[in-house]
C-alpha cells in the first residue's frame, strides 16, 4: 500500500501516455482480432456475424498466398541485406579521413530525409518505359530499354531498387556511429600483430558492429516486411495484374479496395504472428549469446 | 634480441607542428629504458614511429642491425601495450592473447601451449574463458601484457600502461613488470609521465620535453647530476627548489643576503652575474636559531618517516624542505634556513644548463 502511494505521482504522470496508447494501439488491435472472426465486408458492414476461423482457413487454403509470402520473404531479404552491405560499405568509406567528408555524409543521408512517398513516386516516374530517366540512361549507353513496370519480374525489381535507395542511409548512419566508437588502438594493436585489412574487418570491425547492427537489422526487417508505401506506389497498387504484391499490400488492397474487412483483419493477424515469432526467435538467439 | 637506435628522428604533424625534433636515442639489447616527460612532450609519438604506426619525416630507426624505416609494423617484430589496453571486448582472454598468433597462423597445439605459458606467467590461467568486461583493472592490464609477451617479440613498447590503475595496484604492477623483464630479458621502452615510475623501474631513463631529449642516464645519475633545469625540476618529489642569485661584492647573494652555506664554499668564480641555485628539499636544513635565511612555516605535511615543510622567505619566495619525521613544526613559526654547499646544483639562467661553481 505504501508502495502504491509512493508511486501515485508517477502513475499520474504516466496516465495520459497510457490512455493514448490504449486508445490508438490496444483498442484497434482488439477490434481487429474481433472482426477477424466475423464476416464483416461491404455487404455486412452493419450486421457482421461470427464465423469463427473461416477466414483463417481461407487464407491457408489459398494457393496464391504462398507465392505472395515467398515474395515478401524475398523482398525483405534482398532489401535488408542490401541495406546492410551498402550501409556498412559506405560507413567504412565515410569513416576514412577523406576530404569533404561532412558533405558526403549529408548527401548520403538525403534519400532518408525525404518523405518516403515522394521518393517512391519519383522512382515510379524514373521507371517510366518511354520517358523515365532509367531507360533514357540505358539507351544512352546503347542498352535495351527495360519494361520496368509492365513485366511481372521487372515490376518487382523496380520497387526493390527504390527501397534499397530509401533504406541504406539508416544502416549507414547506425554503422558509422558504431564504427566511430571503436577505439583506434584496437586496429593499431592488430596491425602490430600483423593483421591485414580484411582480417581486421572480420575479427574486429564486424564483431564490434554486431551489437548495434543486430537490433537495427531486426527493426529494418520489420519495417521492410511491412513496407506498404514503396511497392504500392511504385507498382501502382500491385500492377501488373496484382502480380507484385507482398503481404501488406495484398491486405491493404483486400481491405480498402475490395472492402473485405473481416478477411483483411484475419490476414493482418497472420502477418502479426509471423513478425512476432521472428522477434521472439531473435531475442532468444541474443539471450543465448550473452 | 636486439637493441634499438633512433638517429636524428624528426616527426612533424602538418607543416607547423614538430613533435619530435632530431631525436637520438640508443637502447641497448635487453635494457629496460624508461621514457619520461610531461604530457604532450612526444613520448607516445616516439613509440608510434618506432612501431611503424607513424612514418618519420627524417632520421633513421634501427632495430638490431636492420634499418626499419620502410618496414610495415608487422615486420618490425615489436609488441606494444597501450594505455587503454586495446583489448577486444568480444573475444575471451584466451582469444585476446592468441590474436597475434592466429594472425600468424600458428599451429593449434603450439598456440594453446604458448597462450597457456603466457597465462601461467601472468596468473591468468583460470581467467582464459572470461571476457574482458568481466575482469578487474589489474587483470585487464595483465591480459594486455599477455598479448605482448606471447609473441616473444624483439622489443616491447609500453605506453603509460599503469595510468588507469589505482595507486596500490600501480605499485604492485610496477614490480610485476620489472620482474617480467628480468625473466624475459627483452629490450623494453617504457613510457610514463610519472617520475616515480621512471626512477623505480628504469635501468636507464630518458627525459623528454617539447620533442627534445633532455638527458639519458641511470636513475641516480639523473637525480644527482641533472643536465639542466628542466630535468632538475622534473625528477624528484617534492621538486627541487630553485633560487635566482645575484653577484654582489664578488659573492652570490639572495635578496641581499649572502647565501648561508655550510661546508666548503671555496668554488671558482664564475663569469656570470646571476646563477640559478637548485636545492633538493632533503638538502634544506632548518634550525630554530643561529645563522641563515629567516623563513616562515606556511604548510606542514607530516608523512610519518619524514615531514614536508613549506616555507616562505621574507620576499615571499617558497622553499620546500624534507625533514626527519621526528621533528614537529607549528604554522607561522620562523626558522633559520641553511644549505649544504656540496649539494647545490648550479644552472646558467640563460641556457638553463648545468654549470659547476
Ligand atoms: N595525429 C596528430 N596530429 C596532430 N598533432 C598530434 C597528433 N598526434 C599527436 N599530436 C601532438 O603531438 C604532441 C605529442 O603527442 P604525444 O606523443 O601523444 O605526447 P605524449 O605521449 O608525450 O603525451 C602533442 O602536442 C599532440 O597534440
Ligand atoms: Mg601519450
Complex ipTM, two decimals? 0.85
Helix (H, G, I), strand (E, B) or coil at B280: coil
pLDDT tens track for B48-92: 999 999 999 999 999 999 999 999 998 999 999 999 999 999 999
pLDDT tens track for B300-357: 999 988 999 999 988 888 999 999 888 889 999 999 998 887 888 989 888 899 987 7
For residue B346, the cross-strand partners are B277, B355
Cβ pair B231, B345 in contact under 8 A? no
Cβ pair A192, B51 in contact under 8 A? yes
Q: Are residues B54 and B168 in the same domain?
A: yes
CATH number of the domain bearing residue B181 = 3.40.50.300
Q: Are residues B204 and B93 in the same domain?
A: yes
A168 Cα–ligand 2 center, Å = 38
Note the pLDDT of residue B14. 84
Give a yes or no: residue B29 inside a domain: yes
Q: Which protein residue has the closest C-alpha to ligand 1 atom 3? A: B13
B206 Cα–ligand 1 center, Å = 18
Q: What is the DSSP string of B283-322?
A: GEEEESSSSSEEEEEEEEEE-SSEEEEEEEETTS-EEEEE
All residues at 6 or more sequence positions from A84 whose CB lies less than 8 Å from its CB, including other chains:
A171, A213, A217, A220
Q: Are residues B170 and B61 in the same domain?
A: yes
Q: Are residues B178 and B290 in the same domain?
A: no
Exposed, middle or buried, B164 (CB in 10 Å: 0-12/13-18/19+)? middle
Give a yes or no: residue A177 inside a domain: yes
Q: Are residues B113 and B152 in the same domain?
A: yes
Task: Please give all residues whose CB falls under 5 A of ion ligand 2, grouped by chain where several chains appear.
Answer: B 44
Cβ pair A271, A247 in contact under 8 A? yes
Q: Are residues B300 and B208 in the same domain?
A: no
Helix (H, G, I), strand (E, B) or coil at B37: coil
Interface test with A, best of B63, B89, B96, B144 (most A CBs within 10 A): B89
Last residue of a domain, one of B234, B269, B292: B234
CB contact B239 to A (< 8 Å): no
The domain in which residue B340 lies consists of 241-347
The domain in which residue A206 lies consists of 65-246
Cβ pair B307, B323 in contact under 8 A? yes
Give a yes or no: residue B53 inside a domain: yes
Q: Which protein residue has the closest C-alpha to ligand 1 atom 25? A: B40
DSSP B325: T
> Of all residues in chain A, what percent carry a pLDDT higher than 70?
98
Task: Provide the domain count of chain B.
Answer: 2
Give a yes or no: residue B120 inside a domain: yes
Give a yes or no: residue B126 inside a domain: yes
Cβ pair B27, B61 in contact under 8 A? no
pLDDT tens track for A174-220: 999 999 999 999 999 999 999 999 999 999 999 999 999 999 999 99
Note the pLDDT of residue B261. 60
Give a yes or no: residue A23 inside a domain: no
Q: Are residues B269 and B186 in the same domain?
A: no
Angle of helix B108-121 relative to helix B93-103, nearest 10 degrees, comes to 130
Q: Are residues B289 and B228 in the same domain?
A: no
- CA–CA separation, B346 vs B271, rounded Å? 13
pLDDT tens track for A263-274: 999 999 999 999
For A74, left (φ over 0), alpha (ψ -120 to 50), or beta? alpha
Q: Could you tell me how many CB contacts below 8 A there are between chain A and chain B?
A: 56
- CA–CA separation, A250 vs A66, rounded Å? 12
- CA–CA separation, A269 vs A29, rounded Å? 9
Give a yes or no: residue B130 inside a domain: yes
pLDDT above 90 (res B118): yes
Interface test with B, best of A193, A200, A206 (most B CBs within 10 A): A193
CATH number of the domain bearing residue B291 = 2.40.50.140
Give a yes or no: residue B354 inside a domain: no
> Of all residues in chain B, what percent carry a pLDDT higher than 70?
95
- CA–CA separation, B102 vs B108, rounded Å? 9
Give a yes or no: residue A57 inside a domain: no
pLDDT above 60 (res B263): no
Q: Are residues B20 and B159 in the same domain?
A: yes
Give a yes or no: residue A278 inside a domain: no
In the structure, what pLDDT confidence band is assigned to residue B266 with cuts at 50, 70 and 90?
A: very low
Q: What are phi and psi of B309, to 5 degrees?
A: -115, 125
Distances (CA, A) of A14 to A5, A11, A19: 15, 5, 9
Distances (CA, A) of A231 to A121, A124, A225, A254, B288: 10, 10, 11, 15, 96
Contacts of B90 in chain A (CB under 8 A): 207-208, 210
Exposed, middle or buried, A168 (CB in 10 Å: 0-12/13-18/19+)? buried
Note the pLDDT of residue A112. 82
Q: Are residues B225 and B127 in the same domain?
A: yes
Note the pLDDT of residue B265. 46
Between strands B4-13 and B58-63, the pairing is: antiparallel
Q: Are residues B197 and B335 in the same domain?
A: no
Give a yes or no: residue A92 inside a domain: yes
Q: What is the mean pLDDT of residues B97-116?
A: 94
| Single pTM value for the model | 0.83
Q: What are phi and psi of B181, to 5 degrees?
A: -65, -40
Note the pLDDT of residue B257. 67
pLDDT tens track for A219-259: 999 999 999 889 999 888 888 888 888 999 999 998 898 88
- CA–CA separation, B115 vs B99, rounded Å? 10
B126 Cα–ligand 1 center, Å = 38
In the structure, what pLDDT confidence band is assigned to residue B264 with cuts at 50, 70 and 90?
A: very low
pLDDT tens track for A125-171: 999 888 899 999 999 998 888 898 888 899 999 999 999 999 999 99
Note the pLDDT of residue B259. 67
- CA–CA separation, B79 vs B100, rounded Å? 10
Give a yes or no: residue B357 inside a domain: no
- What sections of A95-153 are H helices per DSSP? 101-113, 116-126, 133-140
Task: Provide the domain count of chain A.
Answer: 1
Residue listed under C-alpha cell 461491404 = A42
Residue listed under C-alpha cell 544502416 = A171
Are A203 and B78 within 8 A, CB to CB? no
Contacts of B80 in chain A (CB under 8 A): 188-189, 192
Give a yes or no: residue B165 inside a domain: yes
Contacts of B88 in chain A (CB under 8 A): 186, 203-204, 207
Angle of helix B137-149 relative to helix B93-103, nearest 10 degrees, comes to 20
Distances (CA, A) of B72 to A76, B43, B49, B53, B99: 44, 21, 11, 8, 18
Between strands B58-63 and B66-67, the pairing is: antiparallel
CATH number of the domain bearing residue A237 = 1.10.3720.10
Q: Which protein residue has the closest C-alpha to ligand 1 atom 24? A: B40
Note the pLDDT of residue B258. 67
Amino acid at each position: 500500500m505504501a508502495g502504491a502511494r509512493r508511486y501515485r505521482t508517477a502513475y499520474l504522470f504516466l496516465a495520459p501516455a497510457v490512455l493514448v496508447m490504449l486508445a490508438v494501439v490496444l483498442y484497434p488491435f482488439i477490434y481487429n482480432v474481433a472482426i477477424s472472426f466475423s464476416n464483416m465486408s461491404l455487404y455486412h458492414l452493419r450486421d457482421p456475424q461470427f464465423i469463427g476461423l473461416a477466414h483463417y482457413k481461407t487464407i491457408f487454403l489459398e494457393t496464391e498466398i504462398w507465392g505472395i509470402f515467398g515474395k515478401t520473404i524475398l523482398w525483405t531479404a534482398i532489401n535488408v541485406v542490401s541495406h546492410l552491405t551498402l550501409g556498412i560499405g559506405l560507413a567504412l568509406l565515410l569513416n576514412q579521413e577523406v576530404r569533404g567528408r561532412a558533405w558526403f555524409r549529408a548527401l548520403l543521408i538525403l534519400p532518408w530525409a525525404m518523405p518516403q512517398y515522394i521518393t517512391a513516386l519519383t522512382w515510379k516516374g524514373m521507371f517510366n518505359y518511354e520517358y523515365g530517366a532509367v531507360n533514357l540512361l540505358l539507351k544512352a549507353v546503347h542498352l535495351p530499354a527495360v519494361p520496368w513496370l509492365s513485366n511481372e519480374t521487372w515490376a518487382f525489381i523496380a520497387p526493390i531498387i527504390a527501397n534499397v535507395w530509401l533504406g541504406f542511409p539508416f544502416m549507414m548512419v547506425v554503422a558509422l556511429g558504431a564504427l566511430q566508437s571503436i577505439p583506434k588502438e584496437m586496429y593499431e594493436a592488430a596491425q602490430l600483430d600483423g593483421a591485414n585489412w580484411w582480417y581486421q574487418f572480420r575479427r574486429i570491425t564486424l564483431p564490434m558492429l554486431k551489437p548495434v547492427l543486430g537490433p537495427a537489422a531486426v527493426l529494418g526487417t520489420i519495417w521492410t516486411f511491412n513496407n506498404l508505401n514503396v511497392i504500392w506506389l511504385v507498382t501502382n497498387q500491385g500492377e501488373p495484374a496484382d502480380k507484385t504484391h507482398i503481404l501488406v499490400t495484398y491486405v491493404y488492397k483486400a481491405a480498402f479496395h475490395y472492402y473485405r474487412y473481416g478477411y483483411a483483419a484475419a490476414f493482418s493477424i497472420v502477418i502479426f504472428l509471423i513478425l512476432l515469432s521472428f522477434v521472439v526467435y531473435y531475442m532468444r538467439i541474443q539471450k543465448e549469446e550473452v | 634480441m636486439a637493441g634499438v637506435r633512433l638517429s636524428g628522428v624528426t616527426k612533424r604533424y602538418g607543416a607547423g607542428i614538430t613533435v619530435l625534433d632530431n631525436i637520438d636515442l640508443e637502447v641497448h639489447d635487453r635494457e629496460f629504458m624508461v621514457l619520461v616527460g610531461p604530457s604532450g612532450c612526444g613520448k607516445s609519438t616516439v613509440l608510434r614511429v618506432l612501431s611503424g604506426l607513424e612514418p618519420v619525416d627524417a632520421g633513421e630507426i634501427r632495430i638490431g642491425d636492420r634499418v626499419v624505416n620502410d618496414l610495415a609494423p608487422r615486420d618490425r617484430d615489436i609488441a606494444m601495450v597501450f594505455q587503454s589496453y586495446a583489448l577486444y571486448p568480444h573475444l575471451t582472454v584466451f582469444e585476446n592473447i592468441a590474436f597475434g598468433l592466429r594472425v600468424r597462423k600458428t599451429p593449434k597445439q603450439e598456440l594453446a601451449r604458448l597462450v597457456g605459458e603466457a597465462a601461467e606467467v601472468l596468473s591468468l590461467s583460470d581467467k582464459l574463458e572470461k571476457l574482458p568486461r568481466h575482469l578487474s583493472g589489474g587483470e585487464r592490464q595483465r591480459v594486455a601484457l599477455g598479448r605482448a609477451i606471447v609473441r616473444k617479440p624483439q622489443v616491447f613498447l609500453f605506453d603509460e600502461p599503469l595510468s588507469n590503475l589505482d595507486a596500490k595496484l600501480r605499485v604492485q604492477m610496477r614490480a610485476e613488470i620489472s620482474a617480467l623483464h628480468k625473466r624475459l630479458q627483452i629490450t623494453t621502452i617504457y613510457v610514463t609521465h610519472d617520475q616515480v615510475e621512471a626512477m623505480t623501474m628504469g635501468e636507464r631513463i630518458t627525459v623528454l620535453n617539447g620533442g627534445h631529449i633532455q638527458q639519458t642516464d641511470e636513475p641516480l645519475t639523473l637525480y644527482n647530476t641533472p643536465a639542466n633545469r628542466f630535468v632538475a625540476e622534473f625528477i624528484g618529489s617534492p621538486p627541487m627548489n630553485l633560487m635566482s642569485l645575484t653577484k654582489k661584492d664578488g659573492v652570490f647573494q639572495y635578496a641581499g643576503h649572502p647565501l648561508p652555506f655550510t661546508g666548503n664554499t671555496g668554488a671558482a668564480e664564475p663569469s656570470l652575474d646571476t646563477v640559478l641555485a637548485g636545492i633538493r628539499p632533503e638538502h634544506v636544513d632548518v634550525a630554530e636559531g643561529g645563522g641563515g635565511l629567516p623563513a616562515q612555516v606556511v604548510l606542514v605535511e607530516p608523512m610519518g618517516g619524514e615531514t614536508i615543510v613549506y616555507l616562505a622567505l621574507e620576499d615571499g619566495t617558497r622553499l620546500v624542505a624534507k625533514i626527519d619525521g621526528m621533528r614537529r613544526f607549528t604554522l607561522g613559526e620562523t626558522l633559520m634556513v641553511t644549505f649544504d654547499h656540496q649539494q647545490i646544483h648550479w644552472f646558467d639562467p640563460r641556457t638553463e644548463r648545468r654549470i659547476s661553481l
